[in-house]
Chain A
Amino acid sequence: MTLAIPPEYCGVAMAATRELIRRAKPATCTSSPCPQSGLQADMLIGAGLVATVEAAAVTMGERGPAPRFVAAVRIRRRHHDGRHLPRHPRRPAGFREGPALPPPARYSGHRHVLANRPDWRVIDNPFGSDDPIIALPAIRPDIALFHCEMADAHGNLWIGRRRELATMAHASAATVATVEQIHDGDFFADETLAAGALPAAYIDAIAHVPHGTWPLAMPGFHDADAGALDAYCAAATTPDGFAAWLAKHLSGTGAA
Chain B
Amino acid sequence: MSEASRTEFLIATLARLLAGSRRVAVGAQSPIPGSSAFLAQALDLGPRQVTVLGSRRNNDFTEGGRELFDRAAQGRIDAFFLGGGQIDGAANINLVGIGNYPQGKVRFPGSFGSSYLYFLIPRVILFREEHTPRTLVETVDFISAPGTSPANVYRPGGPTALVTGRCVFTFDRDQERFTLTSTHPWSSTQEVRDETGFAFDEPEVIPVTATPDPAMLTMIRGPVRDRIAETYPAFAASLTVV
| Residue positions of A touching B, CB distance < 8 A | 7-9, 35-36, 55-59, 61-63, 65-66, 69-70, 73-74, 76, 78-79, 81-82, 84-92, 94, 103-106, 108-113, 116, 130-133, 161-167, 219-220, 223, 226
Contacts and interface: CB of A to CB of B under 8 A. Distances in A.
11 contacts: A35-B113, A36-B28, A36-B109, A57-B95, A65-B109, A70-B107, A82-B111, A87-B116, A90-B73, A91-B70, A109-B146
A197 to B, nearest CB: 14
Interface stretch (B12-20, B148-156, B167-175, B205-213): B148-156
A112 B142 contact: yes
B182 to A, nearest CB: 29
Contact of B73 (A59, A66, A73, A89): A89
Q: How large is the interface on B (under 10, 10 to 19, 20 to 34, 35 or more residues)?
A: 35 or more
A213 B143 CA distance: 35
Interface stretch (B41-49, B191-199, B232-240): B232-240
Interface string B70-105: 100110000000000000000010011100011110
A7 B109 CA distance: 14
Contact of A131 (B73, B144, B154): B154
Contact of B54 (A9, A70, A92, A133): A9
Looking at A63, A110, A220, the one whose CB has the most chain B CB atoms below 10 A away is A110
B31 interface: yes
Contact of B112 (A56, A88, A106): A56
A82 B102 CA distance: 13
Contact of A57 (B31, B112, B146, B149): B112
A76 B102 contact: yes
Interface stretch (B2-10, B58-66, B129-137): B58-66
B143 A113 contact: yes
Contacts of B146: 106, 108-110
B91 to A, nearest CB: 11
B222 interface: no
Contact of A132 (B70, B109, B153, B235): B153
Interface of B: 28-29, 31, 53-56, 61-67, 69-70, 73-74, 92, 95-97, 101-104, 107-116, 119-120, 142-146, 148-150, 152-155, 232-235
Q: Which 3 pairs from chain A and chain B are nearest by CB? A: A109-B146, A57-B110, A89-B73
B interface, by DSSP: helix, strand, loop or mixed? loop
Nearest to A61: B29
Contacts of B56: 9, 219-220
Contact of B74 (A55, A59, A89): A89
B233 A92 contact: no
A112 B115 contact: no
Contacts of A81: 96, 101, 110-111, 144
Contacts of A86: 115-116, 119-120
B120 A7 contact: no
A61 B53 CA distance: 12
Nearest to A195: B62
A57 B144 CA distance: 12
A109 B143 contact: yes
